[in-house]
Amino acid sequence: MQLREASIRINELLMPELSVQVGITQWGFDIRNRGESLAFDLRHSQRFTRNVSPAGDTTATLGNRASDPEEFEPVGFWFRWERTSFALDLVALPAVIEGGSPNNDEAFYALDLLYTADSKGSRIGFIVAATDDPGGRSTVFTYGGGVDWRGVESFDIYGEIYFQNGWNNGPAAGVTPVKVGAWAFQVGARYDIASDLKPWVEANLTYFSGDGDAVANGKSSAFLSYENVHGLLILEDMYLGFDWDSNYRAIKISGGIALNAGTKNNLKISTVVGLTQTVKTVRFAGDFTHKLGNEIDLKVAWEMTKQVVIDAGVGFLFGSKVLENSMGGPGAPDAERHTVLFTLGTDLRF
């Protein structure tokens, strides 16, 4: 049995602007506020250390990332001071991963500032964060921020960037720490067309640095995060897909409309094309490759009532030498450069 939600929130703590949430917190750093945090969404992410790769990505990488679809229940404190357009968050989560005794917990601490610039929701944000791996044997610092500008009618233009440094030795005790130096960014723009069907188009470039070393050298350039990027069903989704979230570059072009199926705009259809590759080569026996593949997805969400939503999707990944080589290479009878994923589900709201 697993406890999913348990927290207490107190508003107007000592002063009207100050609030605190204690327990399993809902904090996340999402500049666009659309549920796809580039760096920090602990409630919808996986362990921070899993992408440490001092010797670069190899044959085991795809399987390791795709086999860990766990969500965290980070326990701690979230203080927020908020007045008019400013919000300041102080986050202390000493038990992101509960390891028994306190010195075996993965811990996270952050300070962020968000400024809402106008009535359309334009925002600027900055963050400084520190993550301790289980046992507190190493610490990685992350700092950066971004902007989401909506000053032009129908346009949403955004960008954010993060840098990392520190030391990390992965999840095992007795391992010599590696020096971390990594970075990640995304830029993009969305245009909402004025029409009854609410059509929209968006272009995005996402980048996570990777490690290109053939052998371990005490350093790692793979970006570490609690990301929640899931625009592509196969390559990015942590529940159904491969969740490739470091050593990654993707150009994503997407769009959608909202049709009328019983009520106004309750049938939402969207599609995305993702052109992806690894930043540094993935090493297989006799073959080094950047070809992570290209993906085309189609998604449909039908809001039958305010409480019931039926959603379906299909994703097609093709041209992936990383996938083929991870399955044994061109000589293996079952190895393929392409794969298809179908999804069908229901969301119930109470």
For residue 262, the tally of other CB atoms under 10 A from its CB is 10
- pLDDT range class, residue 1, cuts 50, 70, 90: very low
pTM, entire model: 0.91
Tokens encoding 118 = 């106008």
CATH of the domain at 195: 2.40.160.10
Instruction: Give residue 4's pLDDT.
Output: 59
Burial class (CB in 10 A: 0-12, 13-18, 19+), 225: buried
Tell me, yes or no, whether 153 lies in a domain. yes
Tokens encoding 282 = 């993935």
Tell me, yes or no, whether 1 lies in a domain. no
| Average pLDDT value over all residues in the chain | 88
Tell me, yes or no, whether 120 lies in a domain. yes
- Mean pLDDT across the stretch 70-93? 90
Provide CB contacts within 8 A for 301, sequence distance 6+. Answer: 267, 268, 309, 310, 311
Provide CB contacts within 8 A for 256, sequence distance 6+. Answer: 199, 200, 268, 269, 270, 271
Query: Which helix (DSSP H) or strand (DSSP E) does residue 64 occupy?
Result: helix 61-66
101: pLDDT strictly greater than 60: no
Tokens encoding 40 = 């920090």
Domain boundaries, position 49: 7-348
Report how far apart, in Å, the C-alpha atoms of 61 and of each of 86, 244, 283 are.
41, 9, 10
- Domains held by the chain: number: 1
| pLDDT (tens digit per residue) in 281-330 | 998 887 899 999 999 999 999 998 888 999 999 999 999 999 999 888 88
| 216, 38 contact by CB (below 8 A) | no
Exposure string of 233-252, with b = 16+ CB inside 10 Å and e = fewer, is bbbbbbebbbbbbbbbbbbb
Provide CB contacts within 8 A for 66, sequence distance 6+. Answer: 241, 242, 243
| 99, 75 contact by CB (below 8 A) | no
Tell me, yes or no, whether 26 lies in a domain. yes
Exposure string of 271-280, with b = 16+ CB inside 10 Å and e = fewer, is ebebebbbbb
| pLDDT (tens digit per residue) in 140-188 | 999 999 999 998 989 999 999 999 999 876 555 556 778 899 999 999 9
Tokens encoding 182 = 């990594």
Tell me, yes or no, whether 2 lies in a domain. no
| pLDDT (tens digit per residue) in 13-63 | 888 889 998 988 889 999 999 989 999 999 888 888 777 766 788 888 888
